[in-house]
């Protein structure tokens, strides 16, 4: 009998976490590594949110267990903000507060998937989706998209992989890792297709506020009534409010699905830290100025990174519309020798640029998209430029 169960033994470490960890190790060893690996804002959490958490620490009510599904005020606030900004009419019992959006991702799949059920996952996908689907007993069915289609999946592609076992579609807009944002018409088409076949939509809206230029955010279930009540929204405060370390997210869906997920959570983690929940409440009910300031900085860096990447010979990058990632294509770089070395794939490219240019990027293999790589632009303007100059010099 194996020491580690088959179920957990087959899960790979998150590649984005691994690359950030390796970059941190090299930095600790004194190497001047510029890391584009992290999926988190480089800003501190806005002051009024931190103050609310400090006050919560001093309140003895915060020191105790609280309701598994979350503080009632926070569930209420999430429902209000979702109605206001996503156009979804939801009530507090439809909201479950979780340890980051990540816990919602797993719990949503666990609540919806039976063994053998298929979950369609458009690629490039966020690393966690296929692993969480497998962990929940389901079967991830990737569907490849590429830069020529703006990394957006079409109904024809979805229909081509649909079977009698298709239970749900994982949808994310704005996207990690590509920065793609679907428009309402594209969402409506997908929603109509899902509605027609009784397929659930698990839609990850964690980057909802990070859209740039003329691009606007829409929530798929709000623009596609055909989906009826077969949808789950995943979101949280991590990306919007620079709160990745606080671990507060949520899932929203039909009350029976949310209740099933809450039952699971009651045995896994119980309530989310009350201090974190109070901080999240302050974030949702306070001013958004700091969010718009961070967005402005991300937008500036997005434009710089997009321009500098396209200036590197053999690198092509479409302009991301949301989140904080560029997803350039490196296939042409792989066809020639770099510094006397011929690289077989983007995995080798990632290791090579880390060693030779001290630049950390995440190979596309991690997202089901070999030939590409993800670079986060959530780092300081100076570091961003410095690292890209080094990458450009190495790949010139
Ligand atoms: N969804 C997407 C697409 C993400 O990129 C992330 C974080 O990287 C999450 C969900 C989860 O974030 P958290 O668990 O910090 O709320």
- Say what the pLDDT of residue 180 is: 98
Q: DSSP per residue over 123-170, as a string?
A: ES--THHHHHHHHTT-EEEEEE--GGGTT---HHHHHHH--TTEEEEE
Closest CA to 153 of 164, 166, 163, 142: 142
> What is the 290 CA–ligand 1 centroid distance (Å)?
20
Residue to mutate (ligand 1; options 17, 37, 38, 39; most atoms within 8 A of CB): 39
Integer Cα distance of 283 and 393 in angstroms: 42
Integer Cα distance of 317 and 304 in angstroms: 12
- Dump pLDDT digits (tens) for 54-85: 999 999 999 999 999 999 999 999 999 999 99
Integer Cα distance of 89 and 86 in angstroms: 9
204 Cβ inside 6 Å of ligand 1: yes
Question: Partners of 123 in the beta sheet?
Answer: 144
- Say what the pLDDT of residue 18 is: 74
- Say what the pLDDT of residue 85 is: 97
350 Cβ inside 6 Å of ligand 1: no
Integer Cα distance of 89 and 80 in angstroms: 9
101 Cβ inside 6 Å of ligand 1: yes
Atom of ligand 1 minimally distant from the CA of 105: 10
| pLDDT, averaged across the chain | 96
> What is the 128 CA–ligand 1 centroid distance (Å)?
9
* Shortest-distance Cα residue to atom 5 of ligand 1: 176
Is residue 231 over pLDDT 80? yes
Integer Cα distance of 394 and 396 in angstroms: 6
pLDDT band at 44 (very low <50, low <70, confident <90, very high): very high
In the sheet with 231-236, reading across from the earlier edge strand, the strands are 95-98, 249-252, 231-236, 200-204, 166-172, 118-123, 139-144
- Say what the pLDDT of residue 291 is: 98
- Say what the pLDDT of residue 17 is: 72
Closest CA to 361 of 317, 321, 297, 298: 317
- Dump pLDDT digits (tens) for 296-308: 999 999 999 999 9
176 Cβ inside 6 Å of ligand 1: yes
238 Cβ inside 6 Å of ligand 1: yes
Distances (CA, A) of 267 to 36, 92, 235, 271, 280: 36, 21, 22, 10, 23
- Say what the pLDDT of residue 310 is: 98
Q: Whats the size of the chain, residue-wise?
A: 396
Closest CA to 173 of 321, 59, 67, 38: 321
Which phi and psi (to 5°) does residue 26 adopt?
-65, -40
Per-residue pLDDT, averaged over 203-222, amounts to: 98
List all residues 6 or more positions away from 102 whose beta carbon is below 8 Å from its beta carbon: 128, 249
- Say what the pLDDT of residue 115 is: 95
- Say what the pLDDT of residue 22 is: 81
pLDDT band at 217 (very low <50, low <70, confident <90, very high): very high
CA atoms lying within 13 Å on the CB side of residue 348 = 11
List all residues 6 or more positions away from 11 whose beta carbon is below 8 Å from its beta carbon: 131, 134, 135
State the greatest distance between any 2 C-alpha atoms of the chain, in Å, as a whole number: 64
- Say what the pLDDT of residue 13 is: 73
- Say what the pLDDT of residue 2 is: 86
- Say what the pLDDT of residue 20 is: 74
Atom of ligand 1 minimally distant from the CA of 104: 14
Atom of ligand 1 minimally distant from the CA of 103: 14
pLDDT band at 263 (very low <50, low <70, confident <90, very high): very high
Contact between 151 and 178 (Cβ < 8 Å) = yes
- Say what the pLDDT of residue 340 is: 87
102 Cβ inside 6 Å of ligand 1: yes
Is residue 338 over pLDDT 80? yes
Integer Cα distance of 255 and 91 in angstroms: 9
* Cα dihedral 54, 57, 60, 61 sign: positive
> What is the 249 CA–ligand 1 centroid distance (Å)?
9
Residue to mutate (ligand 1; options 121, 124, 126, 368; most atoms within 8 A of CB): 126
CB neighbour burial string for 338-362, b if at least 16 within 10 angstroms, e if fewer: beeeebeebbebbebbbebbbbbbb
Is residue 230 over pLDDT 90? yes
> What is the 314 CA–ligand 1 centroid distance (Å)?
31
- Say what the pLDDT of residue 9 is: 87
**103-117, 163-177, 341-355: the lowest-pLDDT one:** 341-355
Atom of ligand 1 minimally distant from the CA of 102: 14
pTM for this predicted structure: 0.95
177 Cβ inside 6 Å of ligand 1: no
- Dump pLDDT digits (tens) for 271-297: 999 999 999 999 999 999 999 999 999
- Say what the pLDDT of residue 19 is: 74
Question: Partners of 374 in the beta sheet?
Answer: 362
Query: What is the DSSP code (8-state) at residue 3?
Result: S
List all residues 6 or more positions away from 225 whose beta carbon is below 8 Å from its beta carbon: 191, 195
Is residue 6 over pLDDT 90? no
364 Cβ inside 6 Å of ligand 1: no
Integer Cα distance of 209 and 295 in angstroms: 8
Query: What is the DSSP code (8-state) at residue 264?
Result: H
Residue to mutate (ligand 1; options 239, 245, 248; most atoms within 8 A of CB): 239
Is residue 170 over pLDDT 90? yes
pLDDT band at 226 (very low <50, low <70, confident <90, very high): very high
The percent of residues in the chain predicted with pLDDT above 70, rounded, is 99
- Of residues 157 and 9, which shows the higher confidence score? 157
- Say what the pLDDT of residue 189 is: 98
Is residue 23 over pLDDT 90? no
206 Cβ inside 6 Å of ligand 1: yes
């Amino acid at each position: 009998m194996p020491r580690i169960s088959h179920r957990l033994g087959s899960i790979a470490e998150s590649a984005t976490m691994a690359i950030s960890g390796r970059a941190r190790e090299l930095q600790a060893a004194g190497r001047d590594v510029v890391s584009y690996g992290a999926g988190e804002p480089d800003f501190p959490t806005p002051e009024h949110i931190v103050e609310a958490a400090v006050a919560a620490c001093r309140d003895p009510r915060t020191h105790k267990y609280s309701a598994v599904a979350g503080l009632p005020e926070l569930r209420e606030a999430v429902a209000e903000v979702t109605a206001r900004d996503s156009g979804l009419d939801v009530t507090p019992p439809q909201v479950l507060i979780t340890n980051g959006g990540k816990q919602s991702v797993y719990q949503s799949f666990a609540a919806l998937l039976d063994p053998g059920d298929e979950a369609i996952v458009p690629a490039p996908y966020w690393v966690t989706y296929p692993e969480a689907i497998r962990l929940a007993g389901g079967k991830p069915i990737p569907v490849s998209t590429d830069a020529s289609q703006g990394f957006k999946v079409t109904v024809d592609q979805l229909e081509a992989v649909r079977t009698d076992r298709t239970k749900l579609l994982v949808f994310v807009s704005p996207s990690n890792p590509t920065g793609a944002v679907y428009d309402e018409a594209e969402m409506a088409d997908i929603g109509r297709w899902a509605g027609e076949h009784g397929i659930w939509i698990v839609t990850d809206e964690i980057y909802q506020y990070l859209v740039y230029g003329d691009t606007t955010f829409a929530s798929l279930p709000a623009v596609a009534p055909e989906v009826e009540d077969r949808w789950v929204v995943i979101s949280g405060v991590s990306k919007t409010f620079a709160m990745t370390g606080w671990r507060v997210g949520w899932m929203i869906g039909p009350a029976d699905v949310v209740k099933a997920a809450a039952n699971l959570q009651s045995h896994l983690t119980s309530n989310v830290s009350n201090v974190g929940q109070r901080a999240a409440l302050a974030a949702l009910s306070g001013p958004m100025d700091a969010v718009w300031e961070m967005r402005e900085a991300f937008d500036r860096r997005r434009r710089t990174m997009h321009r500098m990447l396209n200036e590197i010979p053999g690198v092509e990058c479409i302009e991301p519309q949301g989140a904080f990632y560029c997803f350039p294509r490196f296939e042409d770089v792989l066809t020639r020798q770099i510094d006397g070395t011929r690289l077989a794939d983007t995995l080798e490219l990632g290791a090579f640029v880390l060693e030779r240019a001290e630049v950390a990027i995440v190979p596309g293999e991690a997202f089901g998209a070999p030939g590409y790589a993800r670079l986060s632009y959530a780092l300081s303007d100076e570091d961003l430029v410095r690292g890209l100059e080094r990458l450009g010099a190495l790949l010139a």
